[in-house]
Structures are given as C-alpha cells and as structure tokens.
Amino acid sequence: MPGHAAGAGLGGGARGPAGSSAHVPPLSPQENPYLCSNECDASNPDLAHPPRLMLDREDEGLATYWQSVTWSRYPSPLEANITLSWNKSVELTDDVVVTFEYGRPTVMVLEKSLDNGRTWQPWQFYAEDCAEAFGMPARRARDLAASGAHRVLCTEEYSRWAGSKKEKHVRFEVRDRFAIFAGPGLRNMDNLYARLESAKGLKDFFTLTDLRLRLLRPALGGTYVQRENLYKYFYAISNVEVIGRCKCNLHANLCSVREGSLQCECEHNTTGPDCGKCRKNFRTRSWRAGSYLPLPHGSPNACAAAGSAVGNCECYGHSNRCSYIDFLNVVTCVSCKHNTRGQHCQHCRLGFYRNGSAELDDENVCIECNCNQIGSVHDRCNETGFCECREGAAGPKCDDCLPTHYWRQGCYPNVCDDDQLFCQNGGTCVQNQRCACPRGYTGPRCEQPRCDPADDGGLDCDRAPGAAPRPATLLGCLLLLGLAAHLGC
C-alpha cells in the first residue's frame, strides 16, 4: 500500500511527497555518515538520501535508502521520526515490514493515528531490553491469548544485535495475531472473520490513517557505545512495506485516488470517505457496516430507499422497525432515533426543535432547545428554538434578564431606577436592587415613616392603622380602662 513518507534527509532533512516533513538533528559539513563514504550532500540529488528512497522500487542493483545523521553529539539522544500518511482510514491485512540497512535500532516505538495525525497511540514497542527501556516484560505476538490479540506489547525479537547484516527486518506481526484465531497458515479464515465481527475493538486495532516510527536509539553492534567511532552509529531504512486495504466498512471493493487522497468506490447506497453513511433518499433504515457474517458470503447491510421499510412506512432513516396499530389501522415507526418522534419520525422530541438547514433524513435534524432551567418555564421551545421565559427573563434560551430586572439565580424586578421606581423621601438607590433609606423612613422605596418610640411617649407607634394591638399594650389598656379611655385602647 503506497503512503506518503516523512523522515530525515542529510544536511537538515528532505521533504517527502504531500508535504511530509523531517525531524532529526541537522548535519554540519564536517559530519559525514559512514555509508556515504564522505560524499553525502542533501543539496545534491546524486549524493542525497531523502525519505522517498524508503518507498522506491529496488528490482535491480543496490538498495537505495534514507539515512540519518551520525551520533556525533553523543550522549545526546539520536532520535528520528518516520511518518507515513494516507489521509484515509486503512486496514492492515499483512505484516508491516521495515528494512534497516546496517543495523536495527536497539530502541524504537511503532505508533498509529486514527485521526490523520492529530493524536497518536503506541502500537508496539521494540527494545534490546524491554524492562529497561519501557518497564514492560518482553512478549511475542504469537504467544498472545485470544482475549489479548489486540494487546500492545514490547518485543525484543527485532532489536538485539545478531552479528549479521542479514538481520535487517523489523516486523509488526499482523499474521501472527490473525493466526490466534485462524490457526497456523491462516487456514481457518471463517473463524477469523467471525472474531473480527464479534470481538470488541479487534477490527479497529488493525485500522489507521497514519503510521509513525519513533527511532530512539540506533544499533550499537555491542554492549556499549564506542565514543571514538561515533560516525558508525546512525539509522538507515531502505524499505517500508505496509500491506492493507482502504477501510470502506465492507461497502466497497475498490479504492481510487481522487483529489490527492484515497476514496472508497462506495456501493450498497452508501457514501462518504469510508462509506460511513447512507446516501440521501436511502436512509429509511439506519446505516450499518457490512458484515462478514453469516459465513461464507456475509451481509451487505445495504441502505434502503425511501418507502422500502416494513409495511411501506417511511421513517426517514430514524428507525428500522415499523408496527401496525390495529384499532387505528395505521403503520407507524417504532423507536425513533436521533431525537425524533411521530408516525414517520418526522417530528422532534419535546426539548428539541427542527434544524432548518438539515434534510428530514439527516441525523442532526433535531437540535436540543437548551432552555435555561431557572429562567424558562419548561425545557421546551418553539419551532425556531426560542424558549418560554419566566417573568423578567429574556433571550432565546431565557438566560438573560429584561432591563427592568436583575439576575440573582433568577430574574428579579429592580427595586429602584431613574424612571418609575425611584426612592422616596431622600432615599438612595443601590445597584437598582434596594433603597438606602434616611433616618425616619423605611419600606422598599422609603415610602413609610419610621416611628421613634421616644417621640410618642412609649406608645406602639410602629403599629399600622387598624392592626391588632400587641399583648403587652392590650394588658396595659385593660388595667387603665377607667382612667385612660381617651387613649383609644
């Protein structure tokens, strides 16, 4: 499978196809890698070793290879990243094989990305000593149990010095993992297909959009670094072989290059880069990936055209089941998805409203109202997404207040302002929320006189007109009834 390689060229690096980049230390004119015979020059096409040489054909003659700088800056790490990008999800069908010229790295990591290089995750660790390099025990893919077939492991099988230049290959063993289910020689493929279909995460384990080799320590050729011969330590890769197919969710047999990237030739009324959704007007039933089961031919799980659901009922792709209601004599969709409801899943659930820019068969046809729980009467909104607000609240989601109100875990009316609710009797307005009253006045807007008992002979002057007298005052009136009738008790 062709990919876009990014690595490191000599003399500061070289750029591969599709804008791939290099990440290694620069090379000064005095630093000459051992394999170049003191003639390496990244600026000279005849003497350069750019990343594209990892992917060229070598049917005849000597191997061509990408080569890094030497380890002249020891003990600083000599590290390099090699990245292959497809701009498309692909699935491995055989081993990944990397061919190193003149020594395999003693420490490296193979990583993959599922989101075009935005995030990375380790796929396999390689080290001369797994415990020392990564704190992991050394394991081999062929020894994994069925439940751990997609386990990330560290292997020492491809990192130890073998004393021979014939030991060039480093593998990511896809076939050994397949053999856990299909047996030696992969003769029982039916069992493998059944496992790929049923085992959670197994199919995704062999899927990627980008592949990256992180080279962390070069081949040493012994147990220690010969500091007097640092020119002989470097990385050199002559070939990277990745065998796989476009991920099309079993809805395509072909993959072609269009607009600079791989595209599935989708079948079964599907569309998208990975045939990951149904075509417009073919969404009567929900999209499903094709299946290896039932064996031997599997199931295409094709998207259905409008009007082809059970009972000829149109559900706009939001349900794949219909039911006949006898007493109403109608066929209705069952278990509408994507926040839809109704006989044909043509309405939005309460708390959602219709997305005016989406077709009725779009999965995003219904948008959540998101009404403010405090400011709104309920969580429902109208057909344009506006919520019903409580008194004083405002805004499409009722999360704001009218100018005559202020927010304090809800909208409350202003107590005072310059237009109508002004403070009386010399009171001052504080943040439109309360009146600061002068001495002698009280009330929300200082409209009530405050009676001082010292000014009225100790009588109950705070009592409002017509209010019942306090018990103590009533007792006093009873005792002095004959002498103080004029007091009005």
How many angstroms separate the CA atoms of 136 and 152, rounded?
A: 10
- Give the pLDDT of residue 308: 52
Q: What is the pLDDT of residue 271?
A: 92
Q: Is the pLDDT of residue 338 over 60?
A: yes
pLDDT at position 99 is: 93
Residue 166: what pLDDT?
A: 67
Could you report the per-residue pLDDT of 32-88, keeping only the tens digit for each?
344 554 456 678 777 788 888 888 877 666 778 888 888 988 999 999 999 999 999
pLDDT average, residue stretch 92-97: 95
Residue 294: asked if its preceding bond is cis (omega within 30°), the reply is: yes
Going through 50-173 in order, the beta strands assigned E by DSSP cover: 66-67, 80-92, 96-100, 107-113, 121-127, 154-155, 169-172
Q: What is the pLDDT of residues 381-429, one digit of tens each?
A: 998 899 999 999 999 999 999 887 888 888 888 777 655 667 888 888 8
Three-class SS of residue 279? coil
Residue-wise pLDDT for 426-447, tens only, equals 888 877 777 888 888 888 778 8
Query: Is residue 155's pLDDT more than 90?
Result: yes
How is residue 309 annotated by DSSP?
Answer: S
Whole-number average pLDDT of the chain = 80
pLDDT tens per residue across span 111-135: 999 999 999 999 999 999 999 999 9
Q: What percentage of the chain has pLDDT greater than the value 90?
A: 37
The one-letter amino acid code at 341 reads: R
Task: Give the pLDDT confidence of 98-114 residue by residue, as tens digits.
Answer: 999 878 999 999 999 99
HSE on the CB side for 57, CA within 13 Å? 2
How far is it, in rounded angstroms, from Cα 231 to Cα 236?
A: 13
What percent of the chain shows pLDDT beyond 70?
79
182-227 pLDDT per residue, tens? 898 888 888 898 888 878 788 899 999 999 999 999 998 777 888 8
pLDDT at 279: 87
Cα distances (Å, whole numbers) of residue 179 to 139, 169, 291, 423, 453: 16, 20, 20, 87, 99
With cut-offs at 50, 70 and 90, classify the pLDDT of residue 10: very low
Cα separation, 176 vs 410, whole angstroms? 64
With a CB cutoff of 8 Å and minimum separation 6, the contacts of 110 are 96, 122, 123, 124, 125, 126, 172, 211, 212, 213, 214
Asked whether the predicted pLDDT for residue 9 surpasses 50, the reply is: no
